[in-house]
């Protein structure tokens, strides 16, 4: 039986896995026994205890009497919020800058090259600290806030932007959920090719009817300076704004180079074919070059998106309470360092594996299928 190479390989691999698992179990059991012998608490029961910690800025509602597990969820929401915004902003800016670097205009190409070189060769933590110091040394006080765009104000207290609020009647919320489910069914129907001419209009119509039945009201709350501070709108603190701008600048430099390499990887004949059809340069990029480029740049882009999640831990340098900062506070307050490290490793592993799985799914979807 073991003379077969395939069977022998499977047996050897199973034996190695069992050996590693046994070593890990021995290590864990020995560690727990030593901790108990020294009277050090071990276990995750502390997660249900009141946290009594302060989280200065949170996307979710949080109070100091909330349990530890909710403080962890709040910190995780802050990290996901930052990472998602940086990924979106850096992807859009990276696409623009990467294509602009190939422009025949020397000013546009040179400016984008300076951005890329500065971002790629600067330590991100130095960039964050530099940007954070600008809030107090360059920007004016709140009474003299800069107004670069309508409804947008910048001062040493942070960034004031308009806030969009959605008011949905409670009796219409169920109808909205049903409408969204029907819209999802319509999208699947269109993707399967069962009803292609009506799929897109069906999704839009059902979504619109759902919002109408739910009595959804969209209002924009504009910030206004009254007395000594701003009222209305949404305030982005200097800490949050710094981490968003800093990581976006840093990540955009790498995304732009990935995009530039992807554009150059598409053969010159594709440009010539588009020009022979009478397409403009913009349409050639949008309809011919970018779809082919995506098959090449998705894997390196995924690596950059994972780096965004890992680089979000640098928020602790500017005082923003991300997941790692919250976990450090919990570990120091509860004295459950081993459990805290396990939670940190597990959460970041789950986030990065989720990103990787999504990128791999999209990469398979756009891959060329050989017949």
Residue 255 lies in a domain: yes
pLDDT at 194: 46
Q: Where a domain ends, among 204, 221, 238? A: 221
pLDDT at 269: 80
- The Cα 344–Cα 35 span in angstroms is 20
Mean local confidence (pLDDT), 217-231: 76
pLDDT-wise least confident of 20-34, 110-124, 162-176, 289-303: 162-176
Residue 288 and residue 185 share a domain:
no
Residue 150 and residue 25 share a domain:
no
CATH code (residue 277)? 1.10.3720.10
Residue 22 lies in a domain: yes
Residue 228 and residue 119 share a domain:
yes
What range defines the domain where residue 284 resides?
A: 68-162+223-366
User: What is the DSSP code string of 211-270?
Assistant: HHHTT-EEEEE--EEETTEEESSEEEPHHHHHHHHHHHHHHHHHHHHHHHHHHHHS-HHH
Residue 340 lies in a domain: yes
pLDDT digits (tens, 9 = 90+) for 112-153: 999 999 998 989 999 999 988 888 788 888 778 888 888 888
Residue 317 and residue 178 share a domain:
no
Residue 46 lies in a domain: no
Number of structural domains (the chain) is: 3
User: From the CB of residue 121, how many other CB atoms can be counted at a distance below 10 Å?
Assistant: 8
Residue 256 and residue 154 share a domain:
yes
pLDDT at 370: 53
Q: Pick the residue with more confidence: 347 or 279?
A: 347
* pLDDT at 282 > cutoff 90: no
pLDDT at 1: 54
Residue 244 and residue 277 share a domain:
yes
Residue 212 lies in a domain: yes
Q: Which are the contacts of 17, defined by CB distance < 8 A and separation ≥ 6?
A: none
- Strand duo 158-161 + 163-167: pairing: unpaired
pLDDT digits (tens, 9 = 90+) for 37-48: 777 667 778 888
* pLDDT at 256 > cutoff 90: yes
pLDDT at 178: 64
Mean local confidence (pLDDT), 202-228: 67
Residue 117 and residue 20 share a domain:
no
pLDDT-wise least confident of 171-175, 253-257, 271-275: 171-175
Residue 234 and residue 329 share a domain:
yes
Residue 231 and residue 185 share a domain:
no
pLDDT at 185: 67
pLDDT at 135: 82
pLDDT digits (tens, 9 = 90+) for 185-203: 666 665 555 444 455 565 5
pLDDT at 104: 83
pLDDT-wise least confident of 89-98, 211-220, 241-250: 211-220
Confidence of residue 311 (pLDDT cuts 50, 70, 90): very high
- The Cα 363–Cα 359 span in angstroms is 6
Residue 355 lies in a domain: yes
pLDDT at 195: 46
- The mean of the pLDDT values for the chain is 81
Mean local confidence (pLDDT), 244-271: 89
Residue 133 and residue 119 share a domain:
yes
Residue 59 lies in a domain: no
Look up the pTM and report it: 0.78
Judged by DSSP in three states, 147 sits in strand
Residue 326 lies in a domain: yes
pLDDT-wise least confident of 33-42, 54-63, 254-263: 33-42
User: What is the DSSP code string of 289-306?
Assistant: IHHHHHHHHHHHHHHHHH
pLDDT at 306: 92
Residue 174 and residue 83 share a domain:
no
Residue 177 and residue 249 share a domain:
no
Residues 85-90: contacts with CB under 8 Å, at least 24 apart? 85/244, 85/248, 86/244, 86/247, 86/248, 86/251, 86/308, 86/312, 87/251, 87/305, 87/308, 89/244, 89/248, 89/252, 90/247, 90/248, 90/251, 90/252, 90/255, 90/304, 90/308
């Amino acid at each position: 039986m073991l003379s077969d190479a395939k069977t022998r390989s499977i047996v050897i691999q199973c034996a190695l896995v069992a050996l590693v698992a046994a070593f890990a179990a021995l290590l864990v059991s020995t560690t727990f026994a030593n901790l108990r012998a020294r009277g050090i608490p071990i276990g995750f029961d502390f997660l249900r205890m009141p946290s009594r910690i302060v989280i200065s800025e949170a996307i979710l509602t949080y109070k100091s009497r909330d349990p530890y597990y909710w403080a962890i969820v709040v910190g995780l929401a802050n990290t996901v919020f930052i990472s998602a915004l940086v990924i979106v902003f850096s992807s859009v800016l990276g696409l623009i800058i990467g294509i602009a670097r190939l422009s025949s205009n020397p000013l546009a190409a040179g400016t984008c090259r300076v951005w890329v070189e500065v971002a790629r060769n600067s330590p991100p933590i130095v960039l964050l600290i530099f940007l954070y110091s600008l809030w107090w040394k360059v920007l004016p006080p709140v009474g003299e806030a800069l107004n670069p765009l309508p409804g947008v104000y910048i001062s040493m207290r942070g960034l004031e932007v308009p806030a969009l609020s959605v008011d949905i009647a409670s009796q219409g919320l169920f109808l909205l959920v049903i409408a969204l489910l029907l819209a999802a069914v319509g999208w699947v129907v269109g993707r399967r090719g069962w009803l292609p001419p009506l799929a897109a209009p069906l999704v839009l119509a059902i979504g619109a009817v759902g919002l109408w039945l739910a009595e959804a009201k969209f209002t924009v709350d504009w910030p206004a300076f009254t007395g000594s501070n701003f009222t209305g709108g949404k305030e982005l603190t200097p800490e949050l704004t710094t981490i968003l701008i800093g990581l976006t600048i840093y990540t955009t430099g790498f995304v732009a180079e990935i995009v530039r390499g992807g554009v150059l990887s598409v053969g010159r004949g594709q440009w010539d074919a588009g020009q022979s059809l009478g397409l403009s340069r913009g349409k050639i990029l949008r309809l011919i070059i970018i779809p082919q480029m995506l098959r090449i740049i998705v894997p390196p882009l995924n690596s950059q998106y994972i780096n965004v999640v890992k680089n979000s831990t640098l928020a602790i340098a500017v005082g923003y309470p991300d997941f790692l900062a919250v976990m450090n506070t919990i570990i120091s307050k509860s004295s459950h360092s081993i459990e805290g490290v396990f939670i940190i490793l597990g959460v970041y592993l789950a986030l990065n594996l989720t990103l990787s799985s999504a990128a791999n799914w999209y990469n398979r979807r756009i891959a060329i299928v050989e017949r």
